Structure 1
Amino acid sequence: MTVYELQEVKPPFFPPDAHVMTIVVEHPPGSSGTPPHRHSGPAFGYVLEGEMVFELEGERPRVIPAGEAFWEPGGDVIHYQDGNNRTDMPLRFTVTMMCAPGAPMLAFVDERELADRADRRAIA
């Protein structure tokens, strides 16, 4: 047996009584991905195919290719981008999320809040 470590992180919190959900997300070539959003708890992901443009509040956008892992802390942090960096192939990734009870696993951020928090977004 061979074991490869993809990532090791210490998330800031796990919501009390969280439930865990694992999903697969697919974006077609050139897709900008999910609009700005946040998760109620930490999310851990792995790119299965393609290249993701990944941007969290306070961090510069970065490209994550197939075979690499990513994570986000959840809670108040805005996830700005999870778009497909390629126009010639789809993007597929899996995410395991720790979801707070009674909260949606994903909540979109409105334009007013994006404007109010513009100073927290890193310049690309």
Structure 2
Amino acid sequence: MTDHQWLMTSQALNTLRKLRKRIQAEFGINLRFSDFDFESQLAELKHRTKDSDTRTLIANLEVLRGSPFLTGEEAPERLYRGHKVLEETRRKDIYEMIYGEELALHDGRGRPALPHKMYRGLPVLN
């Protein structure tokens, strides 16, 4: 996000100053608000930090911003005609649930079946 209007409030600036000191003490990183990847750095540090106060400060900044900080490695949001598409988990069909992943090798009795050559509906003998 290139819009940094959320940074221009006094509450956000005070929180950022506290957060900058904590990150400097924990990681030795000098965080600059004017950096191009400032928000992605915050997203990475949110997952790396062990300090609960730092996590709370980053969560407060996300609330002030209105959206979570993204690292850029997340999958893009799926949209259909401008609306967010619900992500559903992949479901197995009934045959996968019964026979497992190896459907092509299964003949119904629990043993893998060897493929037979067929010609006009009759098995071919070699």
TM class by shorter chain equals under 0.3
Structure with bigger helix share is 2
Structure with bigger strand share is 1
Higher relative contact order (CA 8 A, sep 6+): 1
Which structure has the bigger radius of gyration? 2
TM-score scaled by length of structure 2: 0.23
TM-score scaled by length of structure 1: 0.24
